[in-house]
C-alpha cells in the first residue's frame, strides 16, 4: 500500500523508532450511506481493498460510460488511428436526438473521433467509430459484448457504441473491471483526461471541453475518467484517481442532480484524507506497554 506526502513520511520514519507501534487500518471509514449515488463502488486499484460499496451488483443503465468499451474495442482491433472518417447521416442519434457540434460531412481522423468520444462524450463520434469497424455496427457491438465476457464482466450487456440505448447495462462491480482494462491503454488515459482540445472542423477551429468538471477544475490527480447521462441511467461517473497516495477506482451510478456524482467523489477524497491523517497521528503515539513489561517493571 502506497503512502505519500507528510503523512506517509511520518509513518515511514516512526516505524523505525523503538517504542512506537504502527498498524495499518483494516478498512477506511467511508460510509456508503453518506454517498448519494444509487450505486457506488470505491476500490483501491493496487490492493483490491473495497473502501465503499452500495448496490454494487445492481444491474443498471450506464449511458455514455459505454464509450470506455467503445474505445477499448477500437484500440484492440488495431485500426489505423490516422485514417480519416467522414460523418454521415447514419451517425446521427435517431433515438435520443442528442445534439452534436459535428456537422454531417465532417472529416476527422479516427484518433480525433476517439478523443471527442472520451473527452467530450460526443455521441456522433462514437457512432462513426462503430460504423467504420470491420463488419459494421453489428460486428462492433458483438465485439463489445465478447470483450466484456473475456474480461469477466458477467452482468454487462452493450447495445450501441454511444450508450444511448437503455439496454446498455452493467453494474458498478463490472465497471471496475472495465476501468482496469481501460487504464492499461495509455491513449484512453490521455484522451479521457484532457480538459480542452482545439480541432479543425471543416473550415473552423473549434474548442471542445471535458464533460467532467473535476478534470477542468483543480486539486484532482485523475488518471482516467468518463461521465454519462440519460434519463434511464441518471448521472454517472467513473474515475481512476490518486488520492493521498492511493490509486482509487471510483464508480458512481444513477446520481440525482447535476453535482451529486462530483460531490460523492469529493466525499470519498475527504474521507480517505481524514483517515490518512488519523493513521499518521496514531503512528506518532508510543505503543502501550505489554503486560509482561509492566510486571517486570513493578517493584
* Residues that are catalytic: 64, 67, 121
Cβ contact 36:263 at 8 Å: yes
Cβ contact 175:238 at 8 Å: yes
How far apart are alpha carbons 40 and 238 in whole angstroms? 10
How far apart are alpha carbons 124 and 147 in whole angstroms? 22
How far apart are alpha carbons 291 and 24 in whole angstroms? 23
> Grid coordinates in use for 177?
473491471
Cβ contact 220:206 at 8 Å: no
Q: How far is CA 207 from the centre of its chain?
A: 24
Cell 509482561 identifies what position?
292
Cβ contact 162:93 at 8 Å: yes
Strand 84-86 and strand 107-109: pairing?
antiparallel
Amino acid at each position: 500500500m502506497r503512502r505519500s506526502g507528510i503523512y506517509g513520511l511520518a509513518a515511514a520514519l516512526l516505524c523505525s523508532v523503538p517504542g512506537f507501534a504502527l498498524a495499518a487500518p483494516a478498512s477506511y471509514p467511508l460510509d456508503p450511506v453518506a454517498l448519494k449515488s444509487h450505486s457506488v463502488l470505491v476500490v483501491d486499484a493496487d490492493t483490491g481493498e473495497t473502501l465503499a460499496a452500495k448496490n454494487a451488483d445492481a444491474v443498471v443503465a450506464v449511458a455514455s460510460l459505454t464509450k470506455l468499451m467503445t474505445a477499448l474495442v477500437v484500440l484492440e482491433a488495431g485500426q489505423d488511428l490516422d485514417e480519416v472518417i467522414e460523418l454521415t447521416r447514419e451517425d446521427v442519434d435517431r433515438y435520443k436526438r442528442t445534439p452534436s457540434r459535428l456537422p454531417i460531412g465532417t472529416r476527422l481522423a479516427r484518433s480525433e473521433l476517439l478523443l471527442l468520444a472520451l473527452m467530450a462524450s460526443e455521441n456522433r463520434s462514437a457512432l462513426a467509430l462503430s460504423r467504420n469497424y470491420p463488419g459494421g455496427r453489428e460486428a462492433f457491438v458483438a465485439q463489445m459484448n465478447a470483450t466484456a465476457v473475456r474480461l469477466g464482466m458477467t452482468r454487462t450487456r452493450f447495445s450501441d457504441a454511444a450508450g444511448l440505448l437503455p439496454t446498455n447495462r452493467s453494474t458498478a462491480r463490472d465497471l471496475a473491471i472495465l476501468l482496469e482494462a481501460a487504464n492499461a491503454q495509455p491513449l484512453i488515459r490521455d484522451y479521457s483526461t484532457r480538459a480542452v482540445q482545439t480541432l479543425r472542423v471543416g473550415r473552423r477551429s473549434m474548442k471542445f471541453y471535458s464533460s467532467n468538471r473535476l478534470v477542468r477544475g483543480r486539486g484532482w490527480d485523475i488518471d482516467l475518467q468518463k461521465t454519462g447521462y440519460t434519463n434511464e441511467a441518471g448521472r454517472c461517473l467513473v474515475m481512476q484517481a490518486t488520492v493521498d497516495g492511493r490509486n482509487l477506482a471510483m464508480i458512481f451510478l444513477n446520481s440525482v442532480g447535476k453535482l451529486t456524482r462530483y460531490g460523492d467523489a469529493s466525499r470519498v477524497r475527504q474521507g480517505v484524507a481524514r483517515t490518512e491523517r488519523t493513521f499518521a497521528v496514531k503512528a506518532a503515539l508510543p505503543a502501550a506497554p505489554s503486560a509482561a513489561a509492566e510486571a517486570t517493571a513493578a517493584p
